Structure 1
Amino acid sequence: MNSRSKNIGRRDSQGASQSRTSIGDKITSYLAHHRQVARDSFMRLISTPIASMMTWLVIGIALALPSGLFVALDNVESVSRGWDGAAQISLYVNKVVPEKDGRKLAKKLKLRHDIAEVSYISRSQALEEFQVLSGYGDVLAHLDQNPLPAVIVVRPLEQGVSAAATETLYNELKALPQIEQAIIDLEWVQRLYHMMELGKRMTLALAALLALGVLLVIGNTIRLAIESRRDEIVIVKLVGATNPFVRRPFLYTGLWYGLGGGIVSWLLVTISLFWLSGPVAELSGLYQSQFALQGLNLGQTLLLWLSSGLLGLAGAWLAVSRHLSSIEPR
């Protein structure tokens, strides 16, 4: 009984080992076939460089348009964040409030977490500035009393700037009892934010339409590839090839088309930014600014390539699913 149980245990262990080896061989063979198919699909594209490059250019131009618009909007946002004095609030202190109380109010406002900077302009300073800027210094010198109030200039935190937050702060400061009048030039800020939001939505809509165009281009290209290899597909199916086996080369072809188009798109955007960087730097220099155009960063570049590759894969899948099933050996 002991020898018999040993033989049974040995056969069980050998069977388990063969099962594990069989699974491992299947996985290795599966991955090796994927590598081979991916390499062969890429070599097929390289063997017809003109046709492949034309397809890559079409896809790259389609993807470069929304990518360039996103880059432009990012640069506009960076410019708006860098503007000093954006949405400043001018608080005109009531003339009956003593100067020391006005300065105390300015120091108190400086302690708020939503205010970046506070400056106090006394009545005498305001009159001196007005005399210099207006050119009516001689006329103002004959006035019996200073008609100008003291002013507290408040600048909100830049990282917290938004139309709603700035307007809330403005309403709170305007309600202070020491303040006679408050003025904020918020209308242009609101217009800027609304225009940028509109630009983002239009860019998303354009990106969706062009992505659909990329799907159609890749789908039609894969359809033509299927038709050109119809006889080969029929022969492979006659010897027992499954649909996933036949589908795999065309899916990799779509992936290479999409990824190549994404790389072309990145090159087009980068070259365009390099071409525009000189005039933009000269223009910003005229406004005493150090602004420079910013391109796609590493994360955005990888996202562009990943999205283009997935678009190529999806377009190929749609074309293969529709046309491959109609090709059957008779």
Structure 2
Amino acid sequence: MKSPRRRSRNPTMHARLQAFGVHHARALLFSLGKLTQAPFSTLLTLMVIAVAITLPALLYLMLANLQQAAPAWERETRLSAFVADAVTDTELPDLAARLARREDVAATESIPRAQALEEFRAHSGLGDALDLLEENPLPAVILVEPAPDARDPEALRALANALEAHPSISQVQLDMEWVQRLGALLQTLDRLVDLLALLLGLGVVLVVGNTVRLDIHNRRREIEVAKLVGATDAFIRRPFLYGGIWMGLGGGLLALLTLAVLHGSLSGPVQTLARAYGGGFVLRGLQPAEALALLGTAAALGLAGAWVSVFFHIREIEPR
């Protein structure tokens, strides 16, 4: 007696699921059709959403490109270790080799006192004055290139202290100011991206919510009739929610198109500028995963704006 009951329930459950899917598909297509019926106002809404999404995305790409270029700039960071006078020119290469074996050192270059004097003479323009000196006043120098994982300000400071503690090193010179400025700039931009994305994301929610609110107001009679014949609030709000998703997706696609146009117009000049300075920097655009995340975020913001609007307005409409 049990098996016939199971057979009689399964078609009912299947029919319910099928009807549920059909209703959602109809609401999805109906909401898209509603947007296309007013193309000008829809386009204006999508453009506002696209601008709100493009601005934080542009700042994010600026930060990503700076972070991409930062390692190349950090490779230019070198410490100048001034060797004590007791170290001779023959001992200098051995000292440089010992320092190069440190884990936080990538490479070293030794400059003997005579070479240091010649370089100073060539760049200072004080050759005549130097000829008057009886002795070479300049010490030998070992240029130390930090290891890739020892180029942040804290690691560089620790390396400088360790080198200065060496008995054969009299002084270590490290220009930390630009490294600290770069770190502060990247940190500030990272915080600015988060704040701007939050504020403009709220703006997208408000824009979509207001658009849906006006649509609900214009279709008030239609909603009253639907409730009169027994339609639930969930059934009525479904097209509006899908409309919010469509607006979010449309604005996200326009933002991606804008970012692609900007990337295409700037990548050539940036590469030319990089080659002029002897670099091989390539302007970075959005990766596929980042583009999908942008579209997903835009759709979620559109859904959130539509949900807020229908939650407060549809339940207030009752048939007369």
Instruction: State the TM-score, normalizing by the size of structure 1.
Output: 0.91
Work out which of the residue numbers 243, 258, 265 in structure 2 matches 1:275.
265
What is the aligned-residue RMSD (CA, Å)? 1.8
- More displaced stretch, 232-241 vs 180-189: 232-241
Change (3 A) 1:165 1:22: farther
2:156 matched to 1:170?
no
Work out which of the residue numbers 12, 18, 30 in structure 1 matches 2:2.
12
In the alignment of these two chains, the number of paired residues is 320
Q: Which letter maps to 1:171?
A: N
Work out which of the residue numbers 137, 140, 148 in structure 1 matches 2:130.
140
Structure 2 partner of 1:54: 44
Please state whether the residue corresponding to 2:308 is helix, strand or coil. helix
Structure 2 partner of 1:287: 277
Q: How does 1:75-154 map to 2 (within 5 A)?
A: 75-83=65-73, 85-137=75-127, 139-141=129-131, 143-154=133-144
**Are the counterparts in 1 of residues 46 and 250 from structure 2 also a CA contact under 8 Å?**
yes
Structure 1 partner of 2:219: 229
Structure 2 partner of 1:156: 146
Deviations 1:256-305 (A, max 9, x none): 10111111111112212222223323322321222221111112111111
Change (3 A) 1:174 1:18: farther
Structure 1 partner of 2:27: 37
C-alpha distance in 1 between matches for 2:160 and 2:312: 60
C-alpha distance in 1 between matches for 2:100 and 2:13: 70
**Are the counterparts in 2 of residues 71 and 295 from structure 1 also a CA contact under 8 Å?**
yes
Q: How does 1:280-319 map to 2 (within 5 A)?
A: 280-319=270-309
Structure 2 partner of 1:239: 229
C-alpha distance in 2 between matches for 1:84 and 1:257: 43
Please state whether the residue corresponding to 2:108 is helix, strand or coil. strand
2:195 matched to 1:197?
no
**Are the counterparts in 2 of residues 87 and 166 from structure 1 also a CA contact under 8 Å?**
no
Deviations 1:22-48 (A, max 9, x none): 223322322232122112211221232
**Are the counterparts in 2 of residues 126 and 148 from structure 1 also a CA contact under 8 Å?**
yes
Change (3 A) 1:160 1:180: closer
**Are the counterparts in 1 of residues 107 and 146 from structure 2 also a CA contact under 8 Å?**
yes
**Are the counterparts in 1 of residues 108 and 145 from structure 2 also a CA contact under 8 Å?**
yes
C-alpha distance in 2 between matches for 1:25 and 1:115: 71
Structure 1 partner of 2:60: 70
Instruction: State the TM-score, normalizing by the size of structure 2.
Output: 0.94
Q: Which letter maps to 2:221?
A: D
**Are the counterparts in 2 of residues 281 and 291 from structure 1 also a CA contact under 8 Å?**
yes
Change (3 A) 1:20 1:173: farther
Q: Which letter maps to 1:298?
A: P
Please state whether the residue corresponding to 1:45 is helix, strand or coil. helix
Work out which of the residue numbers 14, 31, 37 in structure 2 matches 1:24.
14
Please state whether the residue corresponding to 1:177 is helix, strand or coil. coil
Please state whether the residue corresponding to 2:80 is helix, strand or coil. strand
2:246 matched to 1:259?
no
C-alpha distance in 2 between matches for 1:324 and 1:317: 10
**Are the counterparts in 1 of residues 74 and 151 from structure 2 also a CA contact under 8 Å?**
no
Q: Which letter maps to 1:40?
A: F
C-alpha distance in 2 between matches for 1:156 and 1:77: 18
Tell me how far 1:109 sits from its aligned partner: 2.2
Deviations 1:60-119 (A, max 9, x none): 001111110111111122222222643311111101123344322321222223222221
Q: Which letter maps to 1:203?
A: V
Tell me how far 1:160 sits from its aligned partner: 4.5
**Are the counterparts in 2 of residues 93 and 149 from structure 1 also a CA contact under 8 Å?**
yes
- More displaced stretch, 164-173 vs 318-327: 164-173
Structure 2 residue runs without a partner (length 5+): none
Q: Which letter maps to 1:249?
A: P
Please state whether the residue corresponding to 1:291 is helix, strand or coil. coil
Tell me how far 1:133 sits from its aligned partner: 2.4
- More displaced stretch, 268-277 vs 142-151: 142-151
Q: Which letter maps to 1:217?
A: V
C-alpha distance in 2 between matches for 1:41 and 1:240: 21
* Percent identity (aligned): 41
**Are the counterparts in 1 of residues 54 and 255 from structure 2 also a CA contact under 8 Å?**
yes
- More displaced stretch, 67-76 vs 24-33: 24-33
